[in-house]
Chains A and B, each alone.
Chain A
């Protein structure tokens, strides 16, 4: 923790490097990234395949270790934590939405939503729970198991689960990657609503310009470096930027 940490930044990364392998076989996935994610903002990370966007998210979320640099989530420097501390941090401060396989097949939708709280041994805020359930529109489906839900419904359950513990930041990894465009739009507007109404911070990795257009800001990666960013993007501006990057 340093004195210069900006409290309005939910997540910051400085000089972030990640190298896989050694010697000749070394792959430099991240080559020194400086980035901050503002509290209460919806940020999308984009970039061509192999640009390091997923690696960046994994490192930011404490799922993967870094080779150099430091990451702060709130006032905690997560790059200094051990596995156990990281686990507890994820429990308390981070929510996840993955592309697929977000839910435990043995649990009902409601049990899945409450799972992070149960793991942390915390009580659910009933008001928040009701509000989240209303927003997601899953009241009738709470008793269903994942196999009885559609893909879009499953992702909405996953988002609800991420929201319920009021995390400092939610990381979403291609949350609409497996969905048709209508279900995808539902999930994305729901993510944006939770930023507006619940003041949630969301960082989303995606390769879909339409999905990115729901964000407040898009950052672009290429070859492990942050190359540019867009505020208040539209699908068209995102697409244009990507085209330039690929060229």
Chain B
């Protein structure tokens, strides 16, 4: 039996390869994910180790490492103590805070304040100066190379940096440095100073870390002990090696998120691959009915037949998994090259390799999925009766919908729909989203079960136009597409998975975009938003006052907020600008009654405080009557909202966090922009953003996300296209004589090719249509769980694009099988049985 199986496999190398490809791609993606994240981890570890080699001991303030953004609590006194420890050759404090760089336009650079760091002198320096020199004097500074490039500063230029009190200081740029793998610095950009200047500029009260270099005769462990002894408790003291290990471990947590995210797509790809394999083996078994029957005739047992099919799947599984691992290695290397090319803050220079873990995971996943997918077809093969060997013609398989199938399918559909409806109708939130997702999965199972039933009507629907447009080849193609509904169903469902998810993602993002912008528009159509880089810094009140004096502006709404105790509980309290342009519709009560001495409270806060309309809330020693309950999703609205006057009386020191401006109709954009910019000019940390810019940035981020997710789902779609190609080429093989007959009757080669292309087109379109229907429906349900009043939008063009692409891709998948069918000799094909 074993030999027969192997001989059979070897005789059909191409078929074997095509079948393997689906699994190969899936395993390749999973292996690639591991290769990528392993390599990044290894690179970070190497980098940290290299850094740590410079340090004998590091002193950190006690507390969670992740909270190091908090005030450093290592003082200059601590530094002096450490320097006094015997065996310490050098000790340097590391400062990191914010030091906003002023760009060439006179405004602070970037949306986040630039980090200000100390550049340590001497051997303990961990910063790599790539050009120029390290700052040696209080008037010198260095910039990270990305910031220097984007803000167009060159060595020798004078740069202006704000200190913690918003006062401008000028420095000579003496060098640029590489932030290396520091994610935080690479995100914010960084200015480097001497340690003293860094302390002064950032306003930091101490150091984040003290790095210690020991003398040649002291081991790091001994030094650690003596430093600990000198400082006492309240400090974490690590050796350089420990520090490196901890940093690497911390970093691995981050990469494990990337890994999980990517693996999710790998799992989807494997699911699709399993469907493709299942279908392929089913067809192979059907085509080899006579071969199986002959084997049974000459004495093979059912068990042997079953084993032979399983063995074949094992060979396919092993082969494709091994190929997949190699592809994974290539994918990982390619991804790293791309990341390196876009200057992502990840370490480079570590070679990619397959870890034993990756090899095991890849092989196990690939083989298990392949064999599991072949189980049902193998069982079907055992049902072949020996007598089938004697029948001259293989029967056309007819599909009859069993009652069991209909009942189970309907049950799945109903259960899925019910669960989804419950999730969509319930309170928005994560639970609701999970409910909808679960409902979606169950519903999809129902679709999977019932697919053979819906393929027929769908192919009639989808094929209506091609059948009329392309004459005889078109009609025959549409007939062919549904002659084996089960096969067609599995082939198309594989494509459906990818298209469903793609549609779902684009529906969700489009809806989110529409909802957010509609929310903004409905409440207060803002033209300009004035804000600051850091959320804690504030806009002087004079800015709003000045803007309000301008006749060009219809409304100027200030956002003023503070955390305060109301009725004994800590809630956010905000000032609410009463303006006819700024409409907020309360859930309960009326904003007409809102005025001095009253408050509008959001529903959630009202529940939290146990108050309702008519009750009073006590804030800063004064009572306010609640006149309206507001929706939790209104913005800019806080827990408890007072009039501007009341707020100012209660919290006189709180400055503006944001100013929202609505320009009067008819005022030219450049006029309004000039006025806004003039008003904010004296304050470099105050930034002006037009609504268009804000939305642009938001849209860009959403688009980016959609693109990445769609790209990753593309893999699943690619695999399902392999499935179409595979099914089609097997069908072509099955219909060799039929094709020859058609050719003899006068069908030209191009017509025969067209016939197969149309069949693929129809299959592709069916898969895409079901996917789009599911994607839109469940996308809708998913968006219902996000916020209560969603503006549902389906990106029609994008969805049509998916459908068109699926059709085209189907046609592409048919190219090779169609060529082979068209080029076959008529006489030879007629003779073959």
Contact = CB atoms under 8 A, between A and B. Distances in A.
Nearest to A104: B738
Contacts of B746: 87-88, 90-92, 116, 119-120
B396 A104 contact: no
Contacts of A118: 471-472, 475
Interface stretch (A94-102, A135-143, A214-222, A226-234): A94-102
Contacts of A50: none
Interface SS, B side:
helix
Interface stretch (B359-367, B476-484, B513-521): B476-484
B748 A116 contact: no
Interface string B394-405: 011000000000
A115 interface: yes
A105 B744 CA distance: 16
A104 B748 contact: no
B393 A100 contact: yes
B10 interface: no
Nearest to B478: A106
Interface in A71-98: 83-84, 87-88, 90-92, 96, 98
B738 A107 contact: no
A121 B396 contact: no
Contacts of B747: 87, 119
Contacts of A90: 744-746
A58 B830 CA distance: 11
A88 to B, nearest CB: 7
Nearest to A158: B741
Contact of A119 (B396, B472, B738): B472
A90 B741 CA distance: 12
B737 interface: yes
Nearest to B748: A87
A61 B744 CA distance: 9
A170 B683 CA distance: 96
B824 to A, nearest CB: 12
A150 B479 CA distance: 23
Interface in A19-67: 58, 61, 63-64
B764 to A, nearest CB: 20
Nearest to A99: B830
B98 to A, nearest CB: 73
A100 B392 contact: yes
B745 A101 contact: no
B471 A121 contact: yes
B742 interface: yes
A104 B476 contact: yes
Interface string A101-135: 11011110000000110111100000000000000
Interface string B653-666: 00000000000000
Contacts of B588: none
A91 B744 CA distance: 8
B376 interface: no
Interface in B735-769: 737-738, 741-749, 751
A236 interface: no
Contact of A101 (B475, B476, B483, B741): B741
A98 B741 contact: yes
Contacts of A106: 476, 479-480, 483
A91 B745 contact: yes
Given A87-B746, A91-B745, A119-B745, A63 B479 contact: no
A5 interface: no
13 contacts: A61-B744, A63-B830, A88-B746, A90-B744, A90-B745, A92-B746, A98-B741, A98-B830, A101-B393, A104-B742, A106-B476, A116-B746, A119-B751
Interface of A: 58, 61, 63-64, 83-84, 87-88, 90-92, 96, 98, 100-102, 104-107, 115-116, 118-121, 147, 178
Given A119-B745, A178-B392, 14 more contacts: A61-B744, A63-B827, A64-B825, A84-B749, A87-B749, A90-B745, A98-B741, A100-B392, A102-B741, A105-B483, A106-B480, A107-B479, A121-B471, A147-B396
